Amino acid sequence: MTTSNVAKKPHAVCIPFHVQSHIKAMLKLAKLLHNKGVYITFVNTEFNHKRFLKTRGQNSLHGLPDFRFKTIPDGLPPSEIEATQDIPSLCESTRKNCLAPFLDLCGKFNQGESSNVPPLTSIVSDGFMTFTIAAAESLGVPVIHFWTLAACGFMGFYQYHILLEKGLAPLGDAGSVTNGHLDTVLDWIPGMNGIRLKDLSNLSGPVFNFVMEAAQRMKKKVLQWRAMAEKATGPAGSSSANLDKLVYHTEFALGNCTNHSFSVQNT
């Protein structure tokens, strides 16, 4: 593949949450996108990048000319442990520290970093990495959030705002773990009859706050999109003329269908 052909490709930056299962899921999606002709920059934290190199060998992440790996810091103290980092600390650090280095990395793609690296055209982000919403707005590119959870896990996280309203979460002191509080039955979740509070994950303070902030950012963005859609399809909106044409042609086509009779003949 020539340099000029590579430089003309759409360029997606894929960034998973910083734990193994999320990284594997995002990597599979990135491979599918690459197979469809998308230039991929896969962003790991420095900690996870080093773990991969140590496990797989120094050449394991060299990638292809149009599939490469980059890193950003996670904001935690350097560590040589061969295990997933402390999740509450990781969530808190991600929330506070990852936007700036991610923006700095992505900004280089649109500043002529290399003649064979195409400009950034989209961000594919883990659903928990909601700082990418602000990054996408700053860079002027779309962002797609990829949720790696099972349906029951997603539904569990979807209840967090209700748990907060009911005073059931986040968990308080250690007594809430031993006083029967976690046996509280949550009887309003569709398809999850009999589920208890302790069956949900990540109800501790830092993780709970991380998920709630992610949900609030997503909700804010959805409301913005809704307002933009309503404005665009309104009487003076940018899409109103096209929408009127669509309605007209649809009605015309339906009218033609109702004014003609059709018969099906066996052959």
Tell me which residues are annotated as active site: 22, 126
Residue 77 DSSP code: P
| Cα four-point dihedral sign 135, 141, 142, 146 | negative
Q: Which amino acid is at 10?
A: P
User: What DSSP character marks residue 51?
Assistant: H
Strand partners, 70: 43
3-state SS, residue 226: helix
Q: Using CA atoms, how far apart are residues 238 and 63, in angstroms rounded to an integer? A: 43
Minimal CA–CA distance to 147: which of 227, 48, 215? Answer: 215
Number of Cβ within 10 Å of residue 115's Cβ equals: 10
